[in-house]
Each structure stands twice: as structure tokens, then as C-alpha cells.
Amino acid sequence: MNHATHHGIKHGTSHDVLDLREIGRHRARRDDTPIAMVGGKGAHLGALSHIEGIDVPAGFCITTNAFRRIIAVARAGDARFDDHLDQLTRPDPIGQETVRTSSAVLRDIIEAAAIPPDLTRAIAQAIEQVHARSDAAIAWAVRSSATAEDLPTASFAGQQDTYLNVIGTADVLRHISKCWASLFSERAVTYRLRNGIDHRQVYMAVVVQQMVFPHAAGMLFTADPVSGSRRISVVEAGFGLGEALVTGLTNADRYEVRGGAIITKTIAAKTLVVRTSPGGGTTSRAVEGVRQHDPALTDDQVIRLVELGGRIAAHFGSPQDIEWCLVDDGFAIVQSRPITTLFPIPETHDGTNHVYLSVGHQQMMTDPMKPLGISFWQLTTPKPMSVAGGRLFVDVTETLASPVQRAGLLDMIGKSDPLLPELLQEIIDRGDFLPPDSSAATWPMGDIAPAGAPAGALAPVEDDPAIVTTLIARNRDSVATLQQEIQGKTGLALIEFILTDIQELRRLLFHPESHRVIMAAMNATWWLDEHLRAWLGDKRAVDALTLSVANNITSEMGLALLDVADVIRPYPDVVRFLGHALEQADAHFLDALPAVDGGTQAREAIGRWLHTYGMRGVGEIDITRPRWSERPLMLLPLLLGNIRNFEPGASARRFAEGLDVARETERDVLTHLRDLPDSEQKVAETRRMIDRVRTLIGYREYPKYGMVSRYFIYKQALLGEAERLVRDGVLHECEDIYYLTLQELRDVVRTHVADAGLILKRRDAFRGYQALTPPRVLTSDGECINGKYRRADIPAGALVGLPVSAGTVEGRARVVLDIATATIEPGDILVTAYTDPSWTPLFVAARGLVTEVGGLMTHGAVIAREYGLPAVVGVEGATKRIRDRQRIRLHGTEGYIEFLS
């Protein structure tokens, strides 16, 4: 632990013990409470003490200053302390047995440390002062309050200890030591390790409060923690102390309240009650059968409690998780903390209802984006987007309120993700959420024309390959011009140049001719799927017809990495070198590669691949995410897997095989159509649509490739500018620019002044966003609407999703959460949260694909069909419900996954 003073707190008893009323006396809001001094629980209780009409049991707090003194005593008294603390803070992974052993030793040392006499006197004096304000004998609640708990981004609820009904000064002192020691409980240490929090930077305060003896107790959530709705409060109540509910020993009565009225009420069978014992501590008792179904609260008490909760939430400025006790028909509040699991709501400040669609679910990137990445995406897209939890959303409220526009929106998004229209229809059916009919509503999807739009909106295109090659050449030439013209630009001139060039990026992305090509290919795909199902009952033909199409830059990337493997495979020294580099996490392995036999050839092959595809990477729509060229080490698991698993020439062979299947499928389809009525017309229309798909569908991946290529050039230039700002002392590190918008970065470059506090605040917020799961649909009430695919005709226990690439396969599931550590063997079925283009090289070895996110036309679906991989997407919780290496059967045609023994 750090011996230095912390946040200006000096050693000495005046800073060791504080009355709760002294905490936050002059602070109006939660963000100003002294968490560093009294921990999360103490800070909140201090703030609660100053809210008019809120009853908080009297008490005091032993501050973190006292804790540091105790740690100094413990360290001086037992040499093992630092050794075991070092064990828990070493950078390499720590086994659970090490956590268990070292935590136990640290707890024993801290509990055995003698409390300094002056601190003992200060605590005894605080006890007497509370006694003087009370007419009755007092028992105490002694509660841990760590500096890393009850935070907006992590609650740490239940990680440290609480002791109830502690009687007498000596027992209070003993339990204070227990609370200090509980900072190193096994569960608390494990929780901090999982959340990346340094044990040396966490301190423990202890709250000592007058014990209350309630008739009932429980929790109040001022927002629904399940749906996320900020308009619904949830009350859970039981008899006696709240410990029976918190520890799950008994069921709770549950109330939902909206608009001052109870909308649902469930009275549970409360079989157990926790009461205080006369000699101290608590005891559990069975509730008499006749009383088990008595409500713990009256309806009037529930409404009054929710009103109190509303005042507390308003004070703290965020929804709260509140612990309460009912004493003589009045409520004592014993804790309030932020509800950390709620997904944030986009800020509008207009007081009206809004409905938002997730952009990340369509882009197959549901991770949070950093502010610089968000600002680039907002500058790139033609319509304004809303931001919440580090994710982007499209506001579709007015479109849903317009019957004319609504039909087009539901039809269009339904073709990509059939679940979305169902989710939006839930909101439409409420009848009172959307604004009145807005016939003048603007189309929310930018330059993407709605399905069913007038013919003029989607002028037909010729099925001529020259159209695609012209568009690609135009994009490629524009990127080359950017690369040349950005050279040498620095400072404000660089920022202004990028802002101007983004207009060229938008022109290429949303060029009418480019858009017509993409929509023509997609419409032809949908036409074939609909008609071949209707005419031939064939659910698989379309997927086969899209195998090995031309000009698909993303599928070419995966095949090109097979060619790199062909170059390296003949050189065993290079293969061993690359394996060693991966084991050692050698980020500079390319520099040393030429020293190995065959290394020059290998480096040149990797370099050629990076020249064409190195601007791509996981989460590539966020300009701040690492690219292959920046971290080529990420390629090695994929490259070594290709060397190990494939024979020479696999790339050309796989493409040729796909082409043969596509041609054979076309012949079969046309042959069967000739046996039908009106065969001549059916054959002609089908042949035309097949030609259109095979000519145009590959281009669909190119505009995004062009965008990512520009982003990489921008990023390299901006990081060069960041290096100059670091040298000048304006920024602490180059990646600080990731937490600024491009417009804010322009101001920093202009003024040579950066707001370090803002950057730190956004870093902390981003860490919190990473723990959140974004919904497909979000409302301004905070309601998160995800839904799940449902089927009545699947085997029991199967997982259901959206079928996006036909076929049925069996194999070993490989659950991959990080592509940098992925090892896929031929025949494995890849299971992951989502895929974007950077995952394509994994597809060449996989036998099938399962994702938690996706739709019919998202990246994973398109490339799975291109490679002939059966695929099911939108499988809720797939990475948790399917075990790594478990054998499964994937039904890509029907859309479900079976577990095999």
C-alpha cells in the first residue's frame, strides 16, 4: 500500500473518524462526495444525510486515512504482508489457489494488527456522541466502505463484509478490523482482478451506524433493472432485516410502480425472516405458515417509498439501488448506490419519446466506440446519430409515427433482421408512445432508399461487370490521391484537410451509382430466395449461387492469407520462428524475420498482404481500434493455422470448387424450372437475376473497404500529430486523442491546451461501457428491447437463431472471444459474439458459423454464404450457452443448433 498522503488527507485522528453529517456537508451532488476518504458507501450515506426528509440512521465513518495507518502497522508487524500482496498484483495470470492462499494470509495479518490508541479513543468518542443523541440503548451496524464500490460503473455489491447488531465498543472495534480485512476476501480480490483494478489503489473505510430493528426491509430500484425503463420503479420487500433477501434465503414480495400507481404486485411465500439476537448478531427463523403470504408492505407504503426513491435519484442525478428499512411506518434509508447495469439513454432534453435502432447490430460491431471513432462515424454518415453507452443509434421515432414511412422501414430492416419489425411493432402497438402521425417525417436511414420505393429512387443498372470495376477503380484512385496529398500536413492544416476529405469519402460511400449497384444485387438475392422457395421449395439454392463471386474484397482477404501460408510453409525455420514470436508476444517479429532462412520471402509475402488488407482489423468502423498493419502479431494464429491445416494451392482450389458448385446449382435450378408452367418466363427472369447477383453482389463489401482505407490514412496522420502534442507536453500519451472528438482535437491543436480531466473521465466511462450489452432497440424511457428468435418445431434444448447460410454440419464448437488467440482447426464450428471483415481469415478453416449478433445481409452472413459455410446468427447468449470444444449440430437452413453427446 502507498504510504503517501492521499488527496490531501493528512495523518491524525481528526481525519480518521467523521460523523456521517460531516461527510459532503457542502457538497450538493454525488460526483463531489469524498469517495477517496470514506469509500463509496460512506460517501453516499453522507450525501443522503443532507437530503431533506430522508431518514438515515445516525453514525460515523472510520476513514481510509485510518486504514492506511492500520496497513502500516500490519506491514511493520509481519514481513509476509508485502510478499503476499505482490503475489496478487503481479502482471501474469494468477491461479485461484494463489488468490485463496494470499488473501487468507493478508486478512489474518490485518485482523491481528493492533488499532493505535489514539484511533481507539476517537472511535469510542464517536460512539458516545451518537449515544448522546439517542434515548435508547444502541446496537450497531458495522459496514465496509471501499473506495472501489458503489461507483457509477461498478457496484462491487457484497464484495466486502457487513456485521449487524454489534453490541459494545470492544465488539465494534473487533468488527472494524474484520471490515478492514474483508478488503482481501477471496471474492473481493477476484472481483478486482476481473475488473482490472489494482489492489494497491483500493482503500477501505468503515461505516458504523445505529442499528434499526425493522418490521420489513428490502430494496428499491428507481428504474427497472431488467427492462431498463426509467419510468418503472421496482420494490422488493420481506419481513425483518434485509439480509434474508440479499443472500437469497427467502423470496421477496415484488411491486412495480409507474406514474404513482402499482402496476404489478406479487406476494411471495416468505418462509424465512432474519432478526437480531439479544446477545448480538442475527438469527434466521421460519415464518409461520399462516403469515408467509402476508404482504410485507401496504400499497400506501409502497407508493410512499417510491416517492422517497424519486427524490434520492433526483439528488444523485441517476437511477438508484436503495436499501431501506420500515420502522414504525417510516422508512430509514441505509444505502443508495447507482444501478450500474442500466444502459444509458441518448441525451435529447426535449421531453418527448424516442425510439432508437442500434447501428452496431447492423455493422456487426457491438463493442463501445471511443469518442474519436464516434465523431468520425458521425461525420461520415449523412444523417445525425444518437450516442449512448459508447454506441451509435438511429432515431426512427418520426418514421414509425408515419404510416407511409413506417411500412418501408419495417420492410427494409425485416429483410436484414426479421426480428426487428416484431420488436418495433411492440412499441407501435402501445398506441401512446409514438407522437401523432408525422406525414412529413424524414427517412432516417440516410441515402439508403426504403424497400418498395418508387422506381426512380432505385434506377435499374446494367448487369455489366465494367460497372463494378469502374466503381472500384474510382474508389482506389481516390484513396491513392488522399495518401499523396496528406503527406507533410500538420497542425490545423491537417485537421482541416481531413474534415474536407471526409466529404469525398461521403461522396464515394453514398454515390447514387454505387448505391444502385448494391441495392440491385440485394434485391436480386431476395428475389431469388423468394421465388425459388415458392416455385421449387428450395431453401438452399441462393446460398450456393453466391459462392465464389467476383470482386468481393473481404472474401479475397481470407483466401489471400492462404497464399501467404503457401509461401512460408516450405521454410520450417520460419514456421518455428513465427511460433516462437507468438509465444513471446514479440510485436517486432517482422524486423527480425529476414535473419531466418526463408525469412525474406516470408516478410515480403506478409508485407504484400498487409499492403492490401492491413488497414482492416477487429471493430474497424472505430478508427481508434488496432489494425493488422499496426499489430501484425494478431495475424500469427491465423497464419500458423493455415500453414498447419491446408495443402499448397488451397486458395485457388477453394475458389474453383465454389465456382463449380455455383454453376452446377444454376444448371439444376434452370432445368427444374423448365418443368413448370410458364417455364420460359421463369427461366429468363431467374437467369437474369442469377447473372445480376453474381456480377454485382461482390461489390457490396467494397465501399466499406474504401472507407476503412481512408480511416487508416487519417489515423496515421493524426497519431503523428499526437506525437507532436505529447512532445510539447500538451497530451500525456498519444492515445489521449482517442478520447476527444475530431472537433475537440482541432481545438487542442489550435490552442495547445487539452482538458486532462475530460480525457480521464472519458477513459473511465469507456471502461464502464465495455461491461454493457447494447440492445437492438432502445427507447427514451431506457427500455432495452432485444427479443429472441422463437420456433415451435425445433428439438428440445436446441438454440434458435436466424438462418443465414444453408446447410447442416456437425463439429466441435470453438468459442472465440478474441481473434488474436483464435485457433480453428478444419471441421470446427466458429462460435463468437459477432464477426466483422477482420474475422474472414478464420472462415477458411471453419466448418460453420454461430454468432450472437447479425442479420441476413450483415458481414458474417454474406461471407459465410460466399465460403459455403452453414451459419446461424442472432443466437442469444451463444458464447455462454455453448461450451468450447462441445460437439454441436448446426442447422443453417432451419436456423437452430443442437447439442450432441
Three-state SS string over 94-113 comes to CCHHHHHHHHHHHHHHHHHC
Confidence band of 685 (pLDDT split at 50, 70, 90): very high
What is the per-residue pLDDT for 161? 80
The mean pLDDT value of the chain amounts to 89
DSSP letter for 901, please: -
Confidence band of 855 (pLDDT split at 50, 70, 90): confident
Joined grid coordinates for residue 628: 493488422
Domain 212-342 indexed as CATH 3.30.565.10:
no
Residue 446 pLDDT more than 60? Answer: no
Burial degree of 122 (CB within 10 A; 0-12, 13-18, 19+): buried
Confidence band of 349 (pLDDT split at 50, 70, 90): confident
- Identify the architecture of domain 1-211 in CATH: 2-Layer Sandwich (3.30)
Tell me the pLDDT tens digit for each residue of 727-772.
Answer: 999 999 999 999 999 999 999 999 999 999 999 999 999 998 998 9
User: What's the whole-number mean pLDDT along residues 834-860?
Assistant: 89
What is the per-residue pLDDT for 199? 77
What is the per-residue pLDDT for 274? 83
CATH 3.50.30.10 placement within the chain? 787-899
CATH 3.30.1490.20 placement within the chain? 1-211
Looking at per-residue pLDDT, the higher value among 92 and 794 belongs to 794
Phi, psi of 8 (to 5 degrees): 80, 5
How many CB atoms neighbour CB 901 within 10 A? 3
394 contacts 359 by C-beta, under 8 angstroms: yes
Looking at per-residue pLDDT, the higher value among 82 and 106 belongs to 106
Residue 159 pLDDT more than 70? Answer: no
User: What's the whole-number mean pLDDT along residues 695-709?
Assistant: 95
Most distant pair of Cα atoms in the chain: their distance: 101
Joined grid coordinates for residue 293: 403470504
For residues 297 and 303, give the distance between their C-alpha atoms in angstroms, rounded to a whole number. 10
For residues 558 and 701, give the distance between their C-alpha atoms in angstroms, rounded to a whole number. 13
Share of the chain above pLDDT 70, in %: 92
For residues 184 and 258, give the distance between their C-alpha atoms in angstroms, rounded to a whole number. 41
What is the per-residue pLDDT for 25? 66
Residue 610 pLDDT more than 50? Answer: yes
Confidence band of 312 (pLDDT split at 50, 70, 90): very high
Confidence band of 248 (pLDDT split at 50, 70, 90): low
Confidence band of 455 (pLDDT split at 50, 70, 90): very low
What is the per-residue pLDDT for 14? 56
Tell me the pLDDT tens digit for each residue of 775-809.
Answer: 999 999 999 998 888 888 899 999 999 999 999 99
C-alpha closest to that of 326 among 213, 209, 247: 213
Residue 703 pLDDT more than 90? Answer: yes
Share of the chain above pLDDT 90, in %: 70
Residue 433 pLDDT more than 80? Answer: yes
CATH 3.30.470.20 placement within the chain? 212-342
The reply to whether 859 belongs to the active site is yes
What is the per-residue pLDDT for 895? 94
Looking at per-residue pLDDT, the higher value among 440 and 106 belongs to 106
Tell me the pLDDT tens digit for each residue of 275-297.
Answer: 888 878 888 888 888 788 899 99
What is the per-residue pLDDT for 11? 37
Q: Starting at the edge strand that comes first in sequence, how are the strands of the sheet with 253-258 ordered?
A: 261-266, 253-258, 232-239, 216-221, 320-327, 330-338
Confidence band of 526 (pLDDT split at 50, 70, 90): very high
Confidence band of 202 (pLDDT split at 50, 70, 90): confident
DSSP letter for 776, please: S
For residues 85 and 74, give the distance between their C-alpha atoms in angstroms, rounded to a whole number. 12
User: What's the whole-number mean pLDDT along residues 374-378?
Assistant: 96
Q: How far is CA 141 from CA 55, 70, 167, 556, in A?
A: 16, 21, 9, 66
Looking at per-residue pLDDT, the higher value among 518 and 448 belongs to 518
What is the per-residue pLDDT for 40? 86
Confidence band of 250 (pLDDT split at 50, 70, 90): confident
Catalytic residue among 315, 515, 672, 859: 859
What is the per-residue pLDDT for 1? 44
Protein fold of 787-899: Glucose Oxidase; domain 1 (3.50.30)
